[in-house]
């Protein structure tokens, strides 16, 4: 199967993931949503690891789904990643809960921009004129989106949810660089990283779930929704197809990652159908400009 098919499948499921997150956290307790979603992901990987190790079905588990033994140092490295991502997800989920999907999803898609700017500021990398054009288009689209959002009462400068979401997205930039290091330098396979990462995340969110149960802080009530499980299913599927695309010789990271930004369109369409999003005609051109800017930046 072509890397293009894998990349498009990853894009589709990532867009579905964003919709599932919105459905799961809307007027709901974020800590419990995160806990149950990650427990499900952890159970999936534990079942695969057990089947590969002890079960008679192990010959039917492909290599891409096999988690290998790792050293204590590698466990610590994955635990550090889990701690970083737990922080990111808390920020993002809290932001998404308060914002329309058609605003939250485009903000999340700007992650490559912050990663690139971080490389310029921290690592002293130099960008091409084409990349600066992409950044300019992205910023123009971002400002335009803030103007459209103001019509829905979402003031980008004063809305706390926007800043919480932005902090989560900006933290995701070093997380992506750390992922690359773990896969390329630390000797971890994608399945091994995903498996232990999911397990550690579930453990990290356990104290939050207990704290919610004991009412250790002012809390929002929790409502069980099947979209909570879909958060895990869609994210697992998106990551799986993403790694499959990267495994193929023609699956270049910059190109595959650019294709994945199309998840904004999936989430945008889903937001219209499922959440009755407003100002659709005004938002669509802005989202298209945002996508073009991000793709130009990544391919420049």
Rounded CA gap, 284 and 290, in Å?
Answer: 10
**What pLDDT shows up at residue 38?**
92
DSSP secondary structure string for all residues of 44-76:
HHHHHHHHHHT-TTGGGS-GGGPPPP--HHHHH
pLDDT at 57: 53
pLDDT along the chain (300 residues), means of 10: 80 90 90 92 89 64 78 93 93 88 81 72 72 80 75 78 90 78 82 90 93 86 92 88 74 66 78 76 80 74
DSSP conformation class of 156: T
With tokens 């159908």, the residue in question is 273
**Can you give the pLDDT at residue 123?**
61
> Cα angle at 43 between 38 and 46, to 5 degrees?
125
Within its chain, how far is the Cα of 168 from the centroid?
A: 10
Q: How far apart (Å, rounded) are the C-alpha atoms in residues 68 and 82? A: 18
C-alpha–C-alpha distance, residues 84 and 259, integer Å: 25
Task: Look up residue 127 and give its two tokens.
Answer: 């960008």
pTM equals 0.81
Contact 278, 100 (CB under 8 A): yes
Give the model's pLDDT for residue 251. 64
Count of H helices and E strands in the chain?
A: 12, 0
CA distance 267 to 22: 10
Neighbours of 9 (CB within 10 A): 18
Q: What is the dihedral of CA 204, 168, 3, 272, to 10 degrees?
A: 110
In this prediction, residue 224 carries a pLDDT of 92
Beta carbons of 60 and 255 less than 8 angstroms apart: no
């Amino acid at each position: 199967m072509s890397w293009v098919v894998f990349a498009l499948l990853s894009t589709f499921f990532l867009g579905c993931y964003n919709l599932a997150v919105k459905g799961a956290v809307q007027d709901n307790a974020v800590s419990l949503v995160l806990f149950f979603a990650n427990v499900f992901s952890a159970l999936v990987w534990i079942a695969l690891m057990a089947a590969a190790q002890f079960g008679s079905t192990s010959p039917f588990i492909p290599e891409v789904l096999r988690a290998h033994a790792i050293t204590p140092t590698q466990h610590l490295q994955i635990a550090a990643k889990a701690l970083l991502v737990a922080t990111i997800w808390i920020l993002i989920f809290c932001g998404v809960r308060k914002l329309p999907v058609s605003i939250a999803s485009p903000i999340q898609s700007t992650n490559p921009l912050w990663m690139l700017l971080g490389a310029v500021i921290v690592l002293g990398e130099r960008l091409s004129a084409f990349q600066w054009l992409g950044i300019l288009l992205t910023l123009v689209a971002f400002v335009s989106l803030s103007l459209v959002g103001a019509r829905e009462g979402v003031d980008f400068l004063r809305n706390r949810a926007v800043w919480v979401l932005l902090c989560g997205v900006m933290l995701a930039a070093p997380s992506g660089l750390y992922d690359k290091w773990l896969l390329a330098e630390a000797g971890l396979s994608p399945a091994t990283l995903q498996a232990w990462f999911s397990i550690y995340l579930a453990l990290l969110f356990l104290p939050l779930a207990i704290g919610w149960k004991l009412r250790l802080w002012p809390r929002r009530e929790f409502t069980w929704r099947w979209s909570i499980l879909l958060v895990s299913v869609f994210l697992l599927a998106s990551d799986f197809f993403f790694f499959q695309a990267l495994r193929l010789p023609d699956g270049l990271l910059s190109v595959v990652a650019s294709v994945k930004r199309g998840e904004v369109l999936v989430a945008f369409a889903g937001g219209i159908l499922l959440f009755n999003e407003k100002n659709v005609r005004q938002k669509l051109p802005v989202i298209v400009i945002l996508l073009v800017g991000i793709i130009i930046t990544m391919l420049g």
